[in-house]
């Protein structure tokens, strides 16, 4: 089963203005033009419309950094999947910062993934262990629990557009990336869990590595058989470096 490499840039709470967001998106789009991986930009919600319009007709896709499970209602500050349709093709769900800072639980992730799929939005479901869990030898346990929760309301994998991301929390923004063996072991475990639900569908799912990904180390992750791309944080705010990560993914044969 062939899987197209995918590189997603999570801009987090950056940049500070629509003008900067548009300029960054256009710069990235120009630099990745003609490269085979699917490139996804995830700006803050407030800049989604401006960024989407800026790259209309180009190969860059747009993603939201989160989404609510509910369609509407008394949820101050939230953005529903109905609001995202037409603006974002993807949505990151379960990022470690959402879990740690805003109390997002495994059950929340389960409901958000199911809601995104039901509304035609491709979820990028993030899983990964904290440093204390890694030191305690619980990486496999945490990855399994979070992965099973993420797909807990899906009846199948095929056709859902699901993307998974392994992001060891201890590596995010620290400059300390996991090893390529770490990334492959976790990604293979994720795929095996998906295969329990849908063996064929599991082979369709791009699995990304996230955590201090740079142009210098991306290639060794992408060379792993179950790692199909990257969820990139800080490096996605620099068009040159981010495009170099996409180019590294392009050099790896599509599986």
pLDDT at 81: 98
Q: In whole angstroms, what is the distance from residue 41 CA to residue 236 CA?
A: 8
- Which positions ≥6 away from 104 have C-beta within 8 Å? 94, 98
Look at residue 60 and tell me whether its pLDDT is greater than 60.
yes
- Which positions ≥6 away from 19 have C-beta within 8 Å? none
Mean pLDDT of 132-160: 95
Mean pLDDT of 152-179: 90
pLDDT at 38: 97
Token pair, residue 49, equals 């419309």
From the list 150, 156, 174, 157, the residue with the least C-alpha distance to 166 is 150
Token pair, residue 7, equals 């590189």
Residue range 106-134, pLDDT digits in tens: 999 999 999 999 999 999 999 999 988 98
pLDDT at 253: 56
- For all residues of the chain together, what is the average pLDDT? 95
The superfamily (CATH) of domain 18-250 is Aldolase class I (3.20.20.70)
pLDDT at 161: 98
Q: How confident is the model at residue 170 (pLDDT cuts 50, 70, 90)?
A: confident
pLDDT at 236: 97
203 is catalytic: no
pLDDT at 52: 97
Helix (H) or strand (E) holding 131, with range, is helix 131-135
Look at residue 17 and tell me whether its pLDDT is greater than 90.
yes
Q: Which one of the listed residues 89, 95, 97, 204 is annotated catalytic?
A: 95
Residue range 179-230, pLDDT digits in tens: 999 999 999 999 999 999 999 999 999 999 998 899 999 999 999 999 999 9
pLDDT at 171: 81
Q: In whole angstroms, what is the distance from residue 87 CA to residue 85 CA?
A: 5
Q: Which one of the listed residues 97, 104, 129, 167 is annotated catalytic?
A: 167
What is the model's pTM?
0.96
Look at residue 68 and tell me whether its pLDDT is greater than 80.
yes
- Which positions ≥6 away from 226 have C-beta within 8 Å? 184, 187, 188, 190, 191, 207
167 is catalytic: yes
Look at residue 238 and tell me whether its pLDDT is greater than 70.
yes
Look at residue 98 and tell me whether its pLDDT is greater than 90.
yes
pLDDT at 175: 74
Look at residue 136 and tell me whether its pLDDT is greater than 70.
yes
């Amino acid at each position: 089963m062939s899987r197209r490499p995918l590189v997603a840039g999570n801009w987090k709470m950056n940049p500070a203005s629509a003008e900067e967001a548009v300029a960054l998106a256009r710069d990235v789009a120009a630099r990745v033009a003609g490269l085979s991986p699917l490139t996804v930009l995830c700006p803050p919600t407030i800049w989604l419309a401006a960024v989407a319009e800026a790259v209309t007709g180009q190969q860059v896709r747009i993603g939201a950094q989160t989404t609510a499970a509910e369609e509407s209602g008394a949820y101050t500050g939230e953005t529903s999947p109905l609001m995202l349709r037409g603006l974002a093709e993807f949505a990151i769900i379960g990022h470690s910062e959402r879990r740690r800072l805003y109390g997002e639980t495994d059950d929340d992730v389960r409901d958000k993934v199911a809601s995104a799929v039901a509304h035609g939005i491709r979820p990028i479901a993030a899983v990964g262990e904290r440093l204390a869990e890694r030191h305690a030898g619980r990486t496999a346990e945490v990855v399994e629990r979070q992965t099973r929760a993420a797909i807990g309301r899906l009846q199948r994998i095929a056709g859902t557009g699901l993307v998974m991301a392994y992001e060891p929390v201890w590596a995010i923004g620290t400059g300390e990336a996991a090893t390529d063996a770490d990334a492959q072991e976790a990604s293979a475990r994720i795929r095996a869990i998906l295969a329990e639900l849908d063996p064929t569908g599991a082979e369709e799912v791009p699995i990304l590595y996230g955590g201090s990904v740079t142009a210098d180390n991306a290639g060794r992750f992408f060379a792993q058989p179950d790692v199909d791309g990257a969820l990139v944080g800080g490096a996605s705010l620099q068009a040159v470096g981010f495009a170099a990560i996409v180019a590294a993914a392009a050099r790896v044969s599509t599986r």
